[in-house]
Structure 1
Amino acid sequence: MLSSNPWPAALARLLFGGAFFLLAGLVTGHLLASLLLGAASLLVYNGIQLYRLEYWLRRTRKQAPPGAEGVWGDVFEGLNRQQQRHRLRRRRLAMLLRRFRESANALPDGAIVLNEYGEMQWWNQIAARYLPLNWPQDQGQRIANLVRHPDFAAYLVRADWSEPVKIPAPQDSDRTLEIRMVPYGNDQQLLLARDVSQVHRLETMRRDFVGNISHELRTPLTVLRGMSEQMAEMALPEADALERPLGLMEQQIERMSRLVDDLLMLSRLETEAPEAEHMALDMSDLLSGVADEARTLSDGRHAITLTVDEALTIRGDRDELRSAFSNLLTNAIKYTEPGGRIDVRWFEAAGVACLAIADTGRGIAPQHLPRLTERFYRVDSGRSTRDGGTGLGLAIVKHVLSRHNARLEVNSEPGVGSTFSCIFPDPVREAQPASRADDRGA
Structure 2
Amino acid sequence: MLTRSPWPSFWARLSALSGVAAGLAFVTGWWLEILSLLLGLVFIWNLWQLSRLERWVRLGRRVEPPLSWGLWGELFHALSRRQRRQRERQQRLRGLIREYRDSAKAMPDATVVLQRGDRVVWWNDAAKRLLGLRWPDDERQHITNLIRSSELREYIRHGYSGEPLSLTSPVRRGTTLEVRLVPYGRDQRLLIARDTTRTERLETMRRDFVSNVSHELKTPLTVIYGVADEMRDELAAKEPEWAQPIQLLHEQAQRMQTLVQDLLMLSRLETAAPSPEQWPVDVGNLLDKLCAESRALSGDREHQIELEAEPGLQIYGSESELRSAFSNLLSNAVRYTPDGGKIRVRWFSDANGAYGVVEDTGIGIPQEHINRLTERFYRVDKGRSNATGGTGLGLAIVKHVMQRHAGRLHIKSTPDKGSEFMLVFPRRVISGRSIY
Would the alpha carbon gap of residues 14 and 141 (structure 1) be closer, same or farther in structure 2, given more than 3 Å must change?
farther
What is aligned with 1:310? 310
Q: How does 1:410-421 map to 2 (within 5 A)?
A: 410-414=412-416, 417-421=417-421
Once the 2 structures are TM-superposed, how far is the Cα of residue 196 of structure 1 from its aligned partner? 1.8
Percent identity over the alignment is 43
> Does the 8 Å CA contact 1:214/1:260 hold for their aligned counterparts?
yes
> Does the 8 Å CA contact 1:306/1:343 hold for their aligned counterparts?
yes
1:205 partner letter: M
Would the alpha carbon gap of residues 233 and 340 (structure 1) be closer, same or farther in structure 2, given more than 3 Å must change?
closer
Once the 2 structures are TM-superposed, how far is the Cα of residue 51 of structure 1 from its aligned partner? 4.2
Once the 2 structures are TM-superposed, how far is the Cα of residue 359 of structure 1 from its aligned partner? 3.9
Structure 1, 74-83 or 218-227: larger mean CA deviation: 218-227
1:8 to 1, 7, 11: 11
Would the alpha carbon gap of residues 291 and 241 (structure 1) be closer, same or farther in structure 2, given more than 3 Å must change?
same
> Does the 8 Å CA contact 1:121/1:139 hold for their aligned counterparts?
yes
Once the 2 structures are TM-superposed, how far is the Cα of residue 225 of structure 1 from its aligned partner? 5.4
Once the 2 structures are TM-superposed, how far is the Cα of residue 327 of structure 1 from its aligned partner? 1.4
Structure 1, 421-430 or 120-129: larger mean CA deviation: 421-430
What is aligned with 1:440? none
2:315 partner letter: R
What is aligned with 2:205? 205
Structure 1, 239-248 or 334-343: larger mean CA deviation: 239-248
SS at match of 1:299: helix
What is aligned with 2:161? 161
How does the TM-score come out when normalised to structure 1?
A: 0.78
SS at match of 1:140: coil
What is aligned with 2:324? 323
Once the 2 structures are TM-superposed, how far is the Cα of residue 308 of structure 1 from its aligned partner? 0.6
Once the 2 structures are TM-superposed, how far is the Cα of residue 93 of structure 1 from its aligned partner? 1.3
1:399 aligns with 2:400: yes
Unaligned runs of 5+ in 2: none
What is aligned with 1:439? none
**Aligned counterparts of 1:137 and 1:310: Cα–Cα separation in 2:** 53
**Aligned counterparts of 1:23 and 1:3: Cα–Cα separation in 2:** 36
How does the TM-score come out when normalised to structure 2?
A: 0.79
State the aligned residue count: 428
> Does the 8 Å CA contact 1:354/1:421 hold for their aligned counterparts?
no
SS at match of 1:8: helix
1:8 partner letter: W
1:376 aligns with 2:377: yes
What is aligned with 2:93? 93
Would the alpha carbon gap of residues 204 and 18 (structure 1) be closer, same or farther in structure 2, given more than 3 Å must change?
farther
Once the 2 structures are TM-superposed, how far is the Cα of residue 374 of structure 1 from its aligned partner? 1.9
Would the alpha carbon gap of residues 374 and 321 (structure 1) be closer, same or farther in structure 2, given more than 3 Å must change?
same
**Aligned counterparts of 1:348 and 1:127: Cα–Cα separation in 2:** 41
Would the alpha carbon gap of residues 341 and 44 (structure 1) be closer, same or farther in structure 2, given more than 3 Å must change?
closer
Would the alpha carbon gap of residues 216 and 159 (structure 1) be closer, same or farther in structure 2, given more than 3 Å must change?
same
Once the 2 structures are TM-superposed, how far is the Cα of residue 140 of structure 1 from its aligned partner? 3.2
Q: How does 1:187-336 map to 2 (within 5 A)?
A: 187-222=187-222, 250-274=250-274, 281-311=281-311, 313=313, 315-317=315-317, 318-336=319-337
Deviations 1:262-308 (A, max 9, x none): 12221222223335696665443222111111122222432333131
Q: How does 1:126-137 map to 2 (within 5 A)?
A: 126-135=126-135
Would the alpha carbon gap of residues 44 and 368 (structure 1) be closer, same or farther in structure 2, given more than 3 Å must change?
closer
**Aligned counterparts of 1:368 and 1:41: Cα–Cα separation in 2:** 84
Deviations 1:132-184 (A, max 9, x none): 23455544333333322332222112222221112223332233221111111
The RMSD of aligned alpha carbons is 4.2
Q: How does 1:101-180 map to 2 (within 5 A)?
A: 101-135=101-135, 138-180=138-180
> Does the 8 Å CA contact 1:17/1:38 hold for their aligned counterparts?
no
Deviations 1:10-32 (A, max 9, x none): 754785697699789965x9x77
SS at match of 2:207: helix
Structure 1, 107-116 or 88-97: larger mean CA deviation: 107-116
> Does the 8 Å CA contact 2:120/2:143 hold for their aligned counterparts?
yes
Would the alpha carbon gap of residues 244 and 136 (structure 1) be closer, same or farther in structure 2, given more than 3 Å must change?
same
SS at match of 2:5: coil
1:411 partner letter: S
Deviations 1:214-243 (A, max 9, x none): 3344444455556667888999xx988887
Unaligned runs of 5+ in 1: 435-442
Would the alpha carbon gap of residues 9 and 135 (structure 1) be closer, same or farther in structure 2, given more than 3 Å must change?
farther
**Aligned counterparts of 1:387 and 1:292: Cα–Cα separation in 2:** 20
Structure 1, 44-53 or 157-166: larger mean CA deviation: 44-53
**Aligned counterparts of 1:141 and 1:346: Cα–Cα separation in 2:** 43
